[in-house]
Structure 1
Amino acid sequence: MNRVALFRPDDGRAESASALLRDLGAEPLPDPMLAVEPTGEAPRADAAITVLTSKTGAELVAEADWRPGGELVAIGAPTAEALEALGYTVNRLPSEFSSSGLVAELATDAPGTPIEVARSDHGSDVLTDGLNDAGAYVHETVLYRLVRPGEAGESTVAAANGDLAAACFTSSLTVEHFLAAADERGVRGAAIDGLNGAVVGAIGEPTRETAETLGIDVDVVPQTAQFDALAEAVVDRL
């Protein structure tokens, strides 16, 4: 059976991703490369537009009993679905699930508009810089930090040993943390070689660009930036 590495957080997402890969006929190797550390902060409530970028962010604002003062915008269907399940109304969902897609979506409304961006500490400057350049008054709230779990790295050894058929990278940070874990184990070069002999999937263009800049060849980028689509595309390629 094809062994496929996945790097989803150990908060239920790694388990559900593993179940999906099994259903697709692959053997999952869960190796969470991200852990969430909440900051305890909540978004401002007086912005005309508030942007949330992840399911984790949605869950944290709900725990804080935060309510938007204006429009609520979600990047990505999973974020929108999580918000709506928690009782929020999502006013906009850009067709392109990316920072640049959101900037394009809000460009005509941006001039002079207070826009709140609530996300992790690793959010792309493309979003905040783009909205500022479009004339918005942008405020950013860091809801949580993304750190690498100390035990992460089993997949790097598997890659170095040629024991991976594929890997599913779901963010630029998972790529960077994979390589940091490989460095700690002294197998970075061998792990990259192992990945380049396997099928590598990236959830979107920013993740693909990061991987290829760091020497990892990407074979698959799904049309939709969701894990289900990524897993299916990788297994199809296998």
Structure 2
Amino acid sequence: MSQAVRAAVFRPDDGRLDNAVELLESLGATPVPDPMLEIVPTEERPPVADFVVLTSSTGVAILADTGWEPGDAKLCCIGPSTAESARGVGWSVDRVPEEYNSAGMVAALRDEVAGKHVVVARSDHGSATMLDGLREAGAEVTETVLYRLRRPEDSGESAAMAAAGDLEAVLFTSSRTVTGFLEAAAERGVRAEAVAGLDHAVVGAIADGPAETAREAGIVVDIVPEEADFDLLAAEVVEAAPSYRN
């Protein structure tokens, strides 16, 4: 009998990791849960503005827990999962860009933000792309850091397994999970071996951002689903993994 696909998943241990493990098990895989992100909320909240941009369902949950409301602001969400979370807590979503990234949000808002106040509410690891693009479009832009991302001190089991050739699949869900994996591997003295070990596994990335981060580190990315959806990513990676075994 062939061994079940061992699939490393790096989601935060805030409910999303348990859901990911359950999904992978339902697909017949053996999950290797190895959180690379720890969510540390700040006390910051978006000020009153014309537009509020939310970039993740984590940000939605943090704000909802505090009782924050968009008020008269136009609420803009990157990606359908963020929008779905916002609607799930009772907020109306006014904009979801066609392209689910910072450049897509800039393109969606470029023609209507001149002279307007736009708040971008997100983690402490956001790039300058959206802020710069909106300012170039004439907006007054404020960044609100809702939460900080840290790597748990005990992370890295997956890196050791990759270095030993004991993984058939990995699922990167953000650029930060990629860098966390590499940092954990370096701390264990096996970065080069871990990257090489992934050559014999199926590497999935949920979107182009983490895929590019992985490629820049020398990791070959095999699967990027058409939609930035974890269920879709997991299904495609697990299905492909058996053909990659040595």
Specify every segment of 5 or more residues in structure 1 that has no aligned partner in the other structure, as ranges: none
Letter in 1 for 2:30: E
- Counterpart among 223, 232, 237 of residue 235 in structure 2: 232
Q: Indicate if the aligned counterparts of 1:42 and 1:64 stay in contact, CA closer than 8 A.
A: no
Residue 47 of structure 1 aligns with which residue?
49
- 2:26 & 2:105 partners in 1: Cα distance? 33
Say which SS state the counterpart of residue 165 (structure 2) adopts. coil
Say which SS state the counterpart of residue 123 (structure 1) adopts. coil
Q: Does 1:13 align with 2:10?
A: no
Over aligned residue pairs, what C-alpha RMSD do you find? 1.0
TM-score, reference length from structure 1: 0.97
TM-score, reference length from structure 2: 0.94
Residue 75 of structure 2 aligns with which residue?
72
Q: Which range moves more in the overlay, 94-103 or 4-13?
A: 94-103
Specify every segment of 5 or more residues in structure 2 that has no aligned partner in the other structure, as ranges: 242-246
- 1:209 & 1:41 partners in 2: Cα distance? 30
CA apart distance, 1:110: 2.1
Residue 120 of structure 2 aligns with which residue?
117
- Counterpart among 156, 163, 180 of residue 159 in structure 2: 156
Say which SS state the counterpart of residue 72 (structure 1) adopts. strand
CA apart distance, 1:40: 1.0
Residue 82 of structure 1 aligns with which residue?
85
Residue 184 of structure 1 aligns with which residue?
187
- 2:202 & 2:69 partners in 1: Cα distance? 43
CA apart distance, 1:163: 0.5
- 2:65 & 2:221 partners in 1: Cα distance? 37
Q: Which range moves more in the overlay, 17-26 or 165-174?
A: 17-26
- 1:86 & 1:36 partners in 2: Cα distance? 20
Residue 62 of structure 1 aligns with which residue?
64
C-alpha distance after superposition, 1:14-66 (max 9, x if no partner):
1101111111121111100000011111111x211100111110111112222
Say which SS state the counterpart of residue 50 (structure 1) adopts. strand
Residue 244 of structure 2 aligns with which residue?
none
Aligned residues: 237
Q: Does 1:197 align with 2:197?
A: no
CA apart distance, 1:131: 1.0
